[in-house]
Amino acid sequence: MTKTPNPSIGNGGEPHQRADGEERVLTTNHGVPISDNQNSLKSGARGPTLIEDFVLREKIFHFDHERIPERIVHARGSGAHGVFEATDDISDLTRAAVFRHGEKTEVFARFSTVAGGSGSVDTPRDVRGFAVKFYTDEGNWDLVGNNIPVFFIQDAIKFPDLIHAVKMEADRGYPQAGSAHDTFWDWASLSPESTHMLMWAMSDRTLPRSLRMMEGFGIHTFRLVNAEGVSSFVKFHWKPRLGVQSTIWDEALKLQAADNDYHRRDLFEAIDSGSFPQWDLGIQVFDQEFADAQPYDVLDATKLIPEEDIPVRLIGTMTLNRNVDNFFAETEQAAFLPSNVPPGIDFSNDPLLQGRLFSYLDTQKSRLGTTNFHQIPINAPRCPFGNFQRDGMMQTNVPNGRANYEPNSLAAHGEEGGPRESMDGFSTTNAVTGPDEMGDKLRVRPESFSDHYSQARLFYRSQDPHEQAHIASAFVFELSKVGLLDQVPPRMVANLRNVDEDLAKRVAKGLGIDLPAKAKAAKDPVDMDPSDALSIHKNMKPTLEGRAVGILIADGTDAVALDKLIAAIAETKGKSVIVAPRVGGAKLSNGKQRKADGQLAGTPSQLFDAVAIIVSDEGCAALMQESAAVEFVMNAFGHLKAVGASEAAQPLLDKAGVEPDDGILGIDGAFVKAAAMRFYDREPSVRMLA
């Protein structure tokens, strides 16, 4: 047991806590014991501070450098420790020790948004990073992916343009953490290869209910190599044990106001309470013959392999069972490198992957120094230069305008468009540079990468009608935020006509523009059989496990009914959260005071997966005078959640505009069953969809 340090008072009345011989001694970083941590060394009590005070200098020096530059992308992250257990023998496919049957490997996982800074919110419409570091006995393996199996681009040379376009606009520093603005859609509408990913980005996949309820994907095609040196192509999948769940757009907006840290808090509290999140690791394995037979290139990161063609084989389980001890030391400083692979796992020639193998190592260096060393006078070129590289530490140039990406159409709108490629620019020679080199060195993409729309069509047509409406509405919302670049929305809709005519018409109608001519596709799309695995709704798990039901009470609430409902929710492994007008709770029908878990004004219904209102006539009358109570019910109804209510609550439901449907129930077992679902058939009655 730690003893209380011996207190002492200095000349100025300041306390000094001194070790008595048993406590740890305070030292400098180099182990020198410190006699006074309250006063700097001075020349006389009122004299100047002396430069020789190494205790002061070290303390201030370290404080001044406690922060490092945040990540350019994936800056806002949440992390946790855990363990991976291999559950299937795949020694015929790979020699990697991490996959030995029964092998347990320590892991660290980091989940993140992409576009926002470290101080942004948890719930924007955004792709989520899903990175896992395996501390194997053959070295670290970093599986660095996203919650979506495809990506916006095919070649790593386009990544700076994508991120410049989606980030805050260069001349104004906003908007933050969102793609609904000019430059992103300018770039996207000029980049047909992004179309498949745009389908996913505009779907509910980018509005996850919880980090615990989203899939993860390695995105690229990798290779597994066995002990005999025989290799196979492989794609990696993470499947959440709780199933894939999402919020809806209006709910996500309100979650940002209710709790900026909604996902981070959810992950931390789940682990802290012992509800350890789990994912199964799966693989899709195939050979060159299968690859050659597909209508798409398996090395194209904008494509996926439908699970109907190659089912996902589950080979292990990851359990996150320990929160970090210090956020900065672990989550913030964690460095993931796709180039970290153990023997038995190898790379393919995916050009996006090849770029990442270089970029991530370079990124770690940049967080410790500067990318702008070329601006130091001794390094600076003496001739004119211009490109789209921007910002970074020690930036001394001051570029004008917002042209920091290409292709762009800013010049067509009267803005500076920036420099352009030169026909006389540097070209790599095709001369052979070694005896084993084969083929020409070319800055080209294979024709097999030219189909940008078939899988986008596959994704859209694999969704159910509600999901398709969400995708169309998301396009309408985002493109409506495009300001002065009036050519951009029609150009984007022209691309969408290659995906699905109905989708394009819905988006055009939602924007109030004429349907433009279809954009010319580099390769005509082909129809692929719909894949149910791509739909959230078609794979919904009707379970309350890992989810929460908000129960609104007031004075006079039936104590027996309340306890019965809480017990029924607990039986389903769900969580009950009591909400009342006052944090002290309410006096129930049995005369006892029931403490609330949350106060009504600060605990809106968007925090829950379903709501129940158990009130008496007196309690209902009081709640009808509370706008927060009306909004609690109104938003739950609008967010398509199950609403259970006692008979006395009907006036409150009426005031909130609740109309009867399959999701409006009493507070019996039928409600508990319905609480695990969303009622998407309700949506046309509560909002206009494209």
For residue 677, the cross-strand partners are none
CA within 13 Å, CB half, 668: 4
Peptide bond into 465 cis (omega under 30): no
- Is 360 annotated to bind a ligand? Reply is yes
Strand ranges, E, within 429-490? none
Residue 408 annotated as catalytic: no
Tokens representing 286 are 């195939």
- Distance, in Å, from the CA atom of 686 to the CA atom of 683, rounded to the nearest integer, reads 5
- Catalytic site residue from 81, 140, 146, 326: 146
What is the spatial distance between Cα 247 and Cα 636, in angstroms, rounded to a whole number?
12
Estimate the crossing angle of helix 501-511 against helix 488-496, to 10 degrees. 160
Write down the residue that tokens 């002065």 correspond to.
484
Length of the chain: 690
* DSSP class of 399: -
Contact in structure between 357 and 159 (CB atoms under 8 Å) = no
Query: Would you call 54 helix, strand, or coil by DSSP?
Result: helix
SS3 sequence of 645-670:
ECHHHHHHHHHCCCCCCCCEECCCHH
At residue 464's C-alpha, the angle toward residues 459 and 466, to 5°, is 115
Comparing CA positions, the residue from 149, 122, 110 lying closest to residue 207 is 122
Find out whether 159 is annotated in a ligand binding site: yes
The answer to whether 223 is annotated as binding is: no
DSSP letters of 56-73? HHHHHHHHHTS--PPPSS
Residue of 566, 576, 575, 598 lying closest to 585 (CA atoms): 598
In the set 29, 62, 74, 220, the catalytic residue is: 74
Q: Is 16 assigned a catalytic role?
A: no
- Cα–Cα distances (Å) from 497 to 136, 657, 689, in that order, read 47, 38, 19
Cα separation, 493 vs 475, whole angstroms: 9
Q: Binding site annotation covers 367? A: yes
Binding-site residues from annotation: 71, 110, 159, 356, 360, 367
**Residues tagged active-site:** 74, 146
Binding-site residues from annotation for heme: 71, 110, 159, 356, 360, 367
